[in-house]
Amino acid sequence: MNGFLRLFFPHHLNGSNREKKLSFRRLISKGYRFLRKLVIFISTILFFVVFTAGVIGYLLYGPNSESTFHRQKVVVIKKGMNVNAISRLLQTKGVISHTGSFILAAKILGIANDLKAGRYDFKDIKNNITILRAIHAGKVSSIRVTLPEGLPAKKIVSILSKKLAVDSVKLMRYINDSAFVHSLQVPAPSLEGFLFPETYDFFWQQDEADILKKQVAYFFKIVNDSLQMKMKEEGLTLLQAVTLASLIQGEAMVEDEMPLISAVYHNRLQNKMLLQADPTLQYIISDGPRRLTNADKRIDSPYNTYRYPGLPPGPINNPGIAAIKAALYPANLPYLYFVATGDGTHAFSRTLQEHLRAKQQFDRLRRNYYRKLKLEKGNH
């Protein structure tokens, strides 16, 4: 024992054995006190570490919604909104219950100043971290927009601006910008006719140029090399074919009639006759669509096919694939005229006399209809 003490505590072995023992005991006591303090200190640090980790974990992964919402909730975060405004918006929409924990979680993650604007869809989400990761990464939801066949560019722009909150003026500027149009390989003065009608997935406040590029790209995907070769065989340029298709689209209410309407236009072009296509007048009047008048037929515009021969300078709407194919594959029939019958279909005629008889019949039906309507209103 003395050898052990001399080895580690040589200065304590001087004096009497009693003093040596007391000195050793004091040293041991000090060691215990030091160890106890060290254990308490380490335990306190570990407690705070575990506690802090628990708090952070709860802030990030704990529930911040009183109940799981199974219905999709749409949240539109506008540009310039800070984390405080975003948290209030999420609370208002019922996505989160407490704004404070959301803001603190964003600051802990270091992304409070890097949350992306956009339209987000949230469903079955109860914790802050999932929401924050989505907004930080800009995982915006797509917006499905259906553009029907036969809409002119200005109506397409109206739909897009309302659905996507994009700039309608900027869209129209791109549509009529010849440099932009030619950069998309469109051989036309504008994108009218080349904004293919389809159901698209866009994004809220998506770049206006990208929206139009997507539509034009789809046009060329559908109007492929095979169809463009057929246009050349028919002696039509791409612009002429799409322009003719737009007239067919504008007239036809029933798809099955498109080849018949196409036949009328092809025959009139071959016979050097005016096309006299009513949709071209609807395109140039400012208050259409409405019932046309004789004054409308006298409007001086290159799009007025009652005054100017041949096809108009460009498409009057954005036709679908059925109308485009009808322009290339007209029915092999000698029709030169057609008139609406009132039920969405047309009566087709070979001669002017046949056409006038069909028109008189339709006019009679229309008069009877309005007379009956007037009587019904008078009885109420």
Same domain, 229 and 331: yes
Is 124 contained in some domain?
Answer: yes
CATH of the domain at 118: 3.30.1490.480
Q: Which of 67-76, 132-141, 166-175 has the lowest mean pLDDT?
A: 67-76
Number of structural domains (the chain) is: 4
* Separation CA 237–CA 224 (nearest Å): 14
Same domain, 166 and 153: yes
Is 259 contained in some domain?
Answer: yes
> Average of pLDDT values for 192-205?
97
Is 373 contained in some domain?
Answer: no
* Separation CA 241–CA 188 (nearest Å): 12
Question: Is the pLDDT confidence value at 19 over 70?
Answer: no
Same domain, 99 and 18: no
> Average of pLDDT values for 83-88?
95
Question: Is the pLDDT confidence value at 11 over 80?
Answer: no
> Average of pLDDT values for 59-87?
78
Question: Is the pLDDT confidence value at 61 over 90?
Answer: no
Percent of the chain with pLDDT over 90: 64
Same domain, 96 and 183: no
Q: What is the pLDDT of residues 88-122, one digit of tens each?
A: 999 999 898 889 889 988 998 999 999 999 999 98
Same domain, 130 and 173: no
> Average of pLDDT values for 356-369?
84
* Separation CA 361–CA 365 (nearest Å): 6
* Separation CA 10–CA 4 (nearest Å): 9
What does the pLDDT read at residue 8?
A: 47
Domain coverage including residue 90: 73-137
What does the pLDDT read at residue 5?
A: 46
Give every CB contact of residue 130 below 8 A, 6+ residues apart in sequence: none
What does the pLDDT read at residue 7?
A: 47
Question: Is the pLDDT confidence value at 40 over 80?
Answer: no
Same domain, 234 and 315: yes
Is 340 contained in some domain?
Answer: no
Question: Is the pLDDT confidence value at 159 over 80?
Answer: yes
**Mean pLDDT in the chain?**
88
Same domain, 194 and 166: yes
Among the candidates 115, 137, 159, a domain finishes at: 137
> Average of pLDDT values for 44-63?
58
* Separation CA 93–CA 320 (nearest Å): 39
299-318 burial, b at 16+ Cβ within 10 Å, e below that, comes to: eebebbbbbbeebbebbbbb
* Separation CA 116–CA 134 (nearest Å): 9
* Separation CA 252–CA 250 (nearest Å): 6
What does the pLDDT read at residue 144?
A: 95
Is 367 contained in some domain?
Answer: no
